[in-house]
Structure 1
């Protein structure tokens, strides 16, 4: 039997999940195709190049310099789609634990890119990682999210799931 959280705790986790989802959606907005800022040395290209100019983890800096930056069009699209999906799935609370893991990985990649850059507030990156850890640990999509709606269906026996899906179609 699942232990119930106090109502305020559940609402707080839902608000955090929605806010983090909106953060990712907003930040996807400055990753502009087709060159993602390479021509003007701005946007995603500029921020990725900070990993080379101000290294945090040398192997990561090498990877960015030799693989990511020369192929910024390909990586730019991957990052844009990943971050937009990350935001959208967190916003609606679907597959929240999986997307929280993706958020941790993406937050680490951003941290390794810009942590040592001038005028960066390092706590912003630590807080991003911590927020995703909270979403992961609390199964945040079960509160005001689709995970909460779908969970009772998916926890039933396989025969019951098949009947529910047949009835829905």
Structure 2
């Protein structure tokens, strides 16, 4: 059946994509999590908009919109990596890295370390992409998670560099976008990072362990 972006978006928002359907009844819980993140993102943006006149600009609104969309991308990419108990898709692409990575040490690491321990690495990958999605959608600790996402994407860039079906620039573009989010502190645009800096003095001033952490992370 022919599809278009509007049909695909509708399927994603209602858990009717192939990745969702492959999860069985788990898809309803995952869908509820997505909608919770989306509504929370909108609520945080509205609160910032109401409380801080400096947030009421097209620039902040634009950064928020792009950040949330990238968060949705991370969430959608996470779906087929749900370890129940092991993602076949993740297994396949890890095998591709073990033969297509740009450097021999990378291929050896994927083959000798990662593949034999997918029961450990699979959940780590799933949680990492969920964390990236949540961070981008909520605007929380965007600088910290952005740095981790850059490293994650660059690993994919090099790991699949020799795969003829992949375009290396795809991963480089994503890494550059995450770099801009990190550089700009995109969570300070209608995100939780902005709200924490405004409402929690310890975060704004970088005082105390937790305050310093969120001050640097956001």
- Pick closer, same or farther for the CA change 1:55–1:157 going to 2, 3 Å: closer
Q: Deviation of residue 10 (structure 1)? A: 2.0
Q: Which residue of 2 aligns with 1:155?
A: 204
Q: How many residues align?
A: 153
Q: Which residue of 1 aligns with 2:70?
A: 20
- Pick closer, same or farther for the CA change 1:56–1:5 going to 2, 3 Å: farther
Q: Which residue of 1 aligns with 2:10?
A: none
**Contact kept in structure 2, 1:54 and 1:117, CA below 8 Å:** yes
For 1:76 and 1:131, how far apart are their aligned partners in 2? Answer: 25
Find out whether 1:130 has 2:176 as its counterpart.
Answer: yes
- Pick closer, same or farther for the CA change 1:47–1:151 going to 2, 3 Å: same
- Pick closer, same or farther for the CA change 1:59–1:5 going to 2, 3 Å: farther
Higher RCO (C-alpha under 8 Å, 6+ residues apart): 1
Gaps of 5+ in 2: 1-53, 212-218
Q: Deviations over 1:24-74 (max 9, x none)?
A: 11111011321221xxxxx00111111122121221111111100011111
Q: Deviations over 1:91-126 (max 9, x none)?
A: 100111001001101101211221221221222101
Structure 1 stretches of 4+ with a deviation exceeding 4 A read 156-159
For 2:127 and 2:152, how far apart are their aligned partners in 1? Answer: 12
Secondary structure at the aligned position of 1:155 is classed as helix
Q: Which residue of 1 aligns with 2:87?
A: 36
For 2:180 and 2:206, how far apart are their aligned partners in 1? Answer: 29
Match of 1:110 among 121, 141, 156: 156
| 1:74-85 aligned within 5 A | 74-85=120-131
Q: Which residue of 2 aligns with 1:65?
A: 111
Q: Deviation of residue 9 (structure 1)? A: 2.4
Across the aligned residues of Structure 1 and Structure 2, the Cα RMSD in angstroms comes to: 2.3
Q: Which has more helix, going by share of residues?
A: 2
Q: Deviation of residue 157 (structure 1)? A: 8.0
TM-score normalized by structure 2?
A: 0.65
**Contact kept in structure 2, 1:49 and 1:113, CA below 8 Å:** no
For 1:76 and 1:63, how far apart are their aligned partners in 2? Answer: 15
Match of 1:11 among 49, 61, 69: 61
